[in-house]
Structure 1
Amino acid sequence: DYAMVQAPGPDVMRLRVGITEAGKNTPVLDQLTAVHPGSLLLSKGKKALAGTESFVGKATIEAEVTDSQTGELLAAGVDRRGGGKYAWKSLRRWTDVEEAYAYWAKKFRWRACVLRGEAKCELPED
């Protein structure tokens, strides 16, 4: 959908992205707190206060989009995503982080599609 270019020009945006946090989950503690009712309740409370549950993988991204010629700020944002508590979840330690990266790529593509005024823009699931 988009061409990568090497120099500023008309209708060219500059995208600066920084991954400012990437943390793997702790599989044993993640699994234990997913099945014990008391621990699960505490983990859900932590999510309500801090945005992520206990012992799950998490990632934070910061992004800035500017006009490549003028430097005008077009968009900026920060997002933090964390995994969920599922007793059957994969034990791969970086799965939650990888899923966050895939989500952000799909979300950026969707937002760009909407801004271009296209009819068939697919919003990624949260």
Structure 2
Amino acid sequence: MMFMDVPFGRPVFEYAFRDFLTTKEEIMKKTMEIVISIVGLFLLAIPVGFTADNSFSGFLGDPARYDLLKPGPKDGARLRWLKEGVDIKKYNKFMVDSVIFYLADSSEYKGIDPQEMKELADSFNRELVAAFKDKWPIVAEPGPDVVRIRIAITNIKPSKPGVSAVTSIIPIGLGVSLVKKGATGGWSGSGETGIELMTMDSMTDEVIAMAVDRRNAEFEQRFSKWGSANDAFKFWSEKIVSFIDDAHGIKRESGK
């Protein structure tokens, strides 16, 4: 009979229920082990140096390049990479591409006034030339001691212009091709901006160094709002020169 192997006074269903609970606990335990293993593999797949505080624009190209970035030195780029075996110090002249801007993914307004963007690019390029002056020569032709620099300012946020800030086109015959009515929309969120930089051998286009930086406390304090684009561009231009100095092992006195 069914009750022959069961101790007196304990119904069969009690043992069956206990076995059911044991089996259920084992299944849940195995399931948790599988979930933990999957999460662990996912975390291992996250690139080194990538945290919630880092967001990359894609300017550097191949996503694998971002995996190469390592924490930079104190007061230097937050993340950087120098090609192993390359003598960075042999490069003492610089070809500089015009800056590229990347809008923030979180920007509510993504419209771009091409004339204003050109003015911003020209403004940044002027600040960059000023930052390089008397420190590093900027040249127009490639050479064995010339490095090419590509720069992106990332995570910028344009403010939506009002109707009064619309740029109007008028006949060229009147002597002026473009007239801006009212104040421009401006730019906001400078405390959130970042920079991505790539340097290449000017003769071979081989990538020899990369850097990614974000705002720091000083920058956020000084430019919590985009009160002056020129001030923000001046800051990043000086940081670029600082990156170059650091790669060459040069320490300059403040203001020099």
Q: TM-score when scaled to structure 2?
A: 0.28
The structure whose Rg is larger is 2
**1:15 paired to 2:146:** no
Q: What is the rounded CA distance, in whole Å, between the counterparts of 2:225 and 2:143 in structure 1?
A: 41
2:193–2:214 Cα contact (<8 Å) kept: yes
RMSD between superposed Cα atoms in Å: 3.5
1:22–1:97 Cα contact (<8 Å) kept: no
2:244 alignment counterpart:
112
**1:78 paired to 2:212:** yes
Q: TM-score when scaled to structure 1?
A: 0.51
Deviation of 1:95 after TM superposition, in Å, equals: 3.9
Deviation of 1:98 after TM superposition, in Å, equals: 5.4
Deviation of 1:12 after TM superposition, in Å, equals: 0.6
Q: How many residues align?
A: 89
Relative to total residues, which structure has the larger strand share, 1 or 2? 1
Change (3 A) 1:97 1:80: farther
Q: What is the rounded CA distance, in whole Å, between the counterparts of 1:56 and 1:111 in structure 2?
A: 20
Specify the code of the residue in structure 2 equivalent to 1:106. E
Q: What is the rounded CA distance, in whole Å, between the counterparts of 1:23 and 1:114 in structure 2?
A: 30
Unaligned runs of 5+ in 1: 26-54
1:22–1:59 Cα contact (<8 Å) kept: yes
| Helix, strand or coil at the partner of 2:215 | strand
Change (3 A) 1:56 1:22: closer
Change (3 A) 1:77 1:6: same
Equivalent of 1:69, from 177, 192, 203? 203
Structure of greater relative contact order (alpha carbons < 8 Å, 6+ residues apart): 1
1:23–1:94 Cα contact (<8 Å) kept: no
Q: What is the rounded CA distance, in whole Å, between the counterparts of 1:80 and 1:116 in structure 2?
A: 22
Unaligned runs of 5+ in 2: 1-134, 160-188
Q: What is the rounded CA distance, in whole Å, between the counterparts of 1:14 and 1:71 in structure 2?
A: 8
1:6 alignment counterpart:
140
Q: State percent identity of aligned pairs.
A: 33
2:153–2:193 Cα contact (<8 Å) kept: yes
